[in-house]
Chains A and B, each alone.
Chain A
Amino acid sequence: MSNKFLPLVIGAAMGVAVTTAAGATTLEDVKAKGFIQCGVSQGLPGFSNLDAQGNWTGIDVDYCRAMAAAVFGDASAVKFTPLSAKERFTALQSGEVDVLSRNTTWTMSRDTQLGLNFAGVNYYDGQGFMVRKDLGVTSALELSGASVCTNTGTTTELNVADYFRANNMPYEIVAFEKADEVVGAYDAGRCDVYTTDASGLYAQRLKLTNPGDHMVLPEIISKEPLGPVVRQGDDEWFNIAKWTLNAMLNAEELGVSSENVDEMKSSDNPAVKRLLGVEGAFGEAIGLPNDWAYAIIKNVGNYEESFNANVGPDTPLGISRGVNALWNDGGFMYAPPVR
C-alpha cells in the first residue's frame, strides 16, 4: 500500500464514526427522494400482487398508495419492493423500505424486539387449513399423521407446530421459502395439507390446477392481525402510518368515498369537515398538508372500497367482511376519531 492511501484509510475510519450520528427523519428522506419505498409480498392475490398489466394491486398495496397520497397528494408516488417473509424485517430495519405493508402478523416479539412499530391492523386474519376434498376430512382434528406444506419464517410455521403438539398429533412439516413453491408442492401432492392465513388459502387456491378439488377446513387456529409496520424511533412517520389507516376507516364510517369526497367537502357534519381538512389543522400536526385525508380518499378510496375491490365478495377471492367489518357493523374495525 502506498503511503498516500494511509491517511485516506484512517480518515475513512473516522468518517464512519462521525456520520453514524446523523440521519434525517423518514418523512424528510421520503420528501427528498419524491416517493415512498414500500415493502410488499412476492405475490399474494388480494393483498399485494402484480396484475396482468404489471401493476401492483391489493389492500396492502392500496395502503402504500394511500400513504403516498397523504404525503405527496399523488397515489403513484410509491415504489414497491417484493420481499420474502424472511427478508421483510431486515429490509425495513436497514431502511431499504420506508414502510412494510406485507400481510404481516402483529405479535409481541415483533413489536418489541425488532425495533419496529405496527401502525394498526388492516385485516384481521386467522390461520386455516386447506385439504383435498377426496381425503374426506372435515375437521383439522382429523389431520393426525399428515404432511403439512407451509412457508418458512412465518408465524404460520409456529402455530401449526403448537396446534399439532397441543392435540398430540404427529405430522411432517415441509417448509418452503416462497409461497409459489408451497403451492406447487401441495398441488403436486407432496403434502396432504396446506396451511397459511385463511385469506391466503382463498387467494392461493386460485393458483391450483383444479381449485374446486380443494376445501378450507372450518377451524381457525390462531389470531393473525395483519398490519403495516414502520421503524421504531421515528414518531412523526409512525403517526403518518397510523393515521393513514385511520383515515381510510373513518372515511368509511362517515360515508365518505372517492366518489363523493368532493361533495362531502361542503358537508355540515363537523367530523367530516375535520377529516377532510375543512376545519382544524390536523394535517399540520402530523407534518402533512391539511387535505391529507382528502387526498387519500380521492386517490385511493376508503377502507370499504379497497376491501371490495381486492378481496371482497365480487373478486375471485370472494371473502365477506366478517370480522373486518366496521365496529358498528359487527366487526373489529374501529378507528379513533379525528378530533
Chain B
Amino acid sequence: MSVMEQDSAGAPARASLLNDPKVRGIFYQIVLVVAITALGYVIVTNTIANLERQNIASGWSFLENTAGFGTNQSLVSYSETSTYGRAIFVGFLNTLLVAAVGIFFATVIGFIIGIARLSNNWVINRLAYCYVELVRNIPLLLQIFFWYFAVLRSIPGKREKWSLFDTFHLNIGGLRLPKPIMGTGSEWVGYAFLIGIAIAIFVARWARKRQEATGQPFPAFLTGVGLIIGLPILTYFVMGMPIGLEFPNFVETGPILRQGFELNVGLNIIPEFLALTAALSIYTASFIAEIVRAGIQAVSHGQTEAAHALGLRNGPTLRLVVIPQAMRVIIPPLTSQYLNLTKNSSLAVAIAYPDLVSMGGTVLNQTGQAIEIIGIWMAVYLSLSLITSAFMNWYNQRMALVER
C-alpha cells in the first residue's frame, strides 16, 4: 500500500520494506493480534485441560437439568421442577426489574433533590444538602441492611397489617395489592395503550411543527396524557370489562400459622424487593441530585436573563432555555449512575432478593460449574451496561447542541 502511494507521488525514493514505518507498523499489529489470540487460546485450552485433570464437570449441559430449589419472586412461571437455565433466567428478570424500578425512582428523587438544592428557600435548600451529604457518604450495603432489617422490624408482623383504602396492605411479608386477572379480550387493552402512546407521539410532533410554522400553541401534553389513559379505559369498557381484580385474602381465624395473608392470593411485592429498591434509588438519587445541580448551574445566568428580556415567563424559561442546555451536561454522568445502579443491584444477595447473582450462585453451588456461571454473570452485566450506555449515548446525541 505504501509502495503505491509513493509511486503516485512520483518520488522514487524507495526505501527497504524493513525500514518502511508503515510496513513495520502493520507487521507489529499483526504480531500483536496473533499473540493475543494465542494467549486467549492457551488460557481456554489450559482451563479445560485443568478442569478435566481435576475431574471437575464442565460444559453447558447442566442448564438443562432440574434445578430443584424454589424462589420467592419470579416474573415468569417457575417451580422446583424447572431447569437451571430457567432459574438463571428468573434471576436475570428480577435483576432487570429492580434495576428498571430503581432507575426510575432514583431519577425522580434525584431531580427533585437536585432542584431543591438550588432553592432560594433556606430550609428546603439545607434539607436537600443534608440528604445528599448523609446518603452518599454511607456505604450502600449498610443502607440495604438498614432498609431491610431496621425497617422490617418496625412494620407489623405476619398476623397484623397496615392498610390504606382497604386495598393496599403492608406487613412484614410484603406489600399486598389487588392482582389483575386477565380475561379474554384483555390483550386489546394492552394494544390500546400502545396505540395511545403512538398517537400521542404523532400529535406532539404535529403540534411542534404547527407551532414552528404558525406560532399557534397546542396543548399536546394534555392531549397525549388523555390518549394514553383514555384509550385503554375506553377499550376496557368496549370489550366488556375483561380485567378482574383478585384481592389479597387476610385470614383471621384458624391455626396461628394460617392467619395473615394467604399465600399466592393477590399480588405480593416482597419486602426484599422493597428494601433493595428503596436503598438503591435513595443512594443513587443523592449522586443524581448533585449531577442535576451541577448541570443547571453550568447554564450561564445570562441565558435566563436573555429569556426574561424576550418576555418568557419563569416556567417556559426553565423548560425551553435552561433545561435543554443543562441536559447536555447532565446526561453523560447520569449514564454512569444508571450503570452503577444496575451493577449495585447484585448486592441483593445479602438480603434474599433472588437476583441474577443470587440465583446463579445457588446454581453454581449445586452444580459446581463456577467458570460457566461466572461467565454468564459477566456477559449479562456487560451487555446490560452496554445497552444502557448505547441508549444514553443515543439520547445524548439527540439532546446535543444542533449547530446550524
Interface residues of A (CB under 8 A from B): 1, 3, 6, 9-10, 12-13, 16-17, 20, 85-86, 89-90, 93, 109-110, 112-115, 134-137, 142-147, 149, 152-154, 157-158, 160-162, 165, 170-178, 181, 184-185, 188-190, 192, 231-233
Judge whether B303 is part of the interface by a CB distance below 8 angstroms. Answer: no
> Could you tell me the distance between the alpha carbons of A13 and B46 in the complex, rounded to whole angstroms?
11
A/B interface sample: 7 pairs, CB < 8 A: A6-B35, A9-B39, A20-B50, A173-B70, A176-B350, A181-B352, A185-B351
The reply to whether A174 and B53 form a contact with Cβ atoms under 8 Å apart is: no
The reply to whether A13 and B39 form a contact with Cβ atoms under 8 Å apart is: yes
Chain B residue numbers with a CB within 8 Å of A136 are 255-257
The reply to whether B152 and A177 form a contact with Cβ atoms under 8 Å apart is: no
Interface residues of B (CB under 8 A from A): 28, 31-32, 35-36, 38-39, 42-43, 46, 49-51, 53-57, 68-72, 80, 148-149, 152-153, 157-158, 172-173, 255-258, 262-264, 271-272, 349-352, 354, 358, 361-362, 364-368, 370
Chain A residue numbers with a CB within 8 Å of B57 are 113-114
How many whole Å from B67's CB to the nearest CB in chain A? 9
**Residue A174 contacts which of B56, B255, B272, B370 (CB distance < 8 angstroms)?**
B272
How many A-B residue contacts, CB cutoff 8 Å? 162
The reply to whether A16 and B367 form a contact with Cβ atoms under 8 Å apart is: no
> Could you tell me the distance between the alpha carbons of A17 and B42 in the complex, rounded to whole angstroms?
6
- From known contacts A85-B365, A152-B362, A173-B69, infer whether A233 and B257 are also in contact, taking CB-CB under 8 Å: no
How many whole Å from B141's CB to the nearest CB in chain A? 11
- From known contacts A6-B28, A147-B173, A233-B54, infer whether A184 and B149 are also in contact, taking CB-CB under 8 Å: yes
What residue in chain A is nearest B79 (Cβ atoms)?
A165
**Residue B367 contacts which of A113, A134, A162, A178 (CB distance < 8 angstroms)?**
A113
- From known contacts A6-B35, A17-B42, infer whether A181 and B351 are also in contact, taking CB-CB under 8 Å: yes
> Could you tell me the distance between the alpha carbons of A10 and B38 in the complex, rounded to whole angstroms?
8
Chain B residue numbers with a CB within 8 Å of A142 are 255, 257
- From known contacts A9-B39, A158-B68, infer whether A16 and B46 are also in contact, taking CB-CB under 8 Å: yes
What residue in chain B is nearest A177 (Cβ atoms)?
B349
The reply to whether B264 and A175 form a contact with Cβ atoms under 8 Å apart is: no
How many whole Å from B148's CB to the nearest CB in chain A? 8
> Could you tell me the distance between the alpha carbons of A234 and B68 in the complex, rounded to whole angstroms?
32
8 nearest CB pairs, A to B: A153-B365, A115-B54, A115-B56, A114-B368, A113-B57, A173-B70, A115-B55, A13-B39
How many whole Å from A264's CB to the nearest CB in chain B? 40
Q: Which of B32, B71, B271, B349 has the most CB of A within 10 A?
A: B349
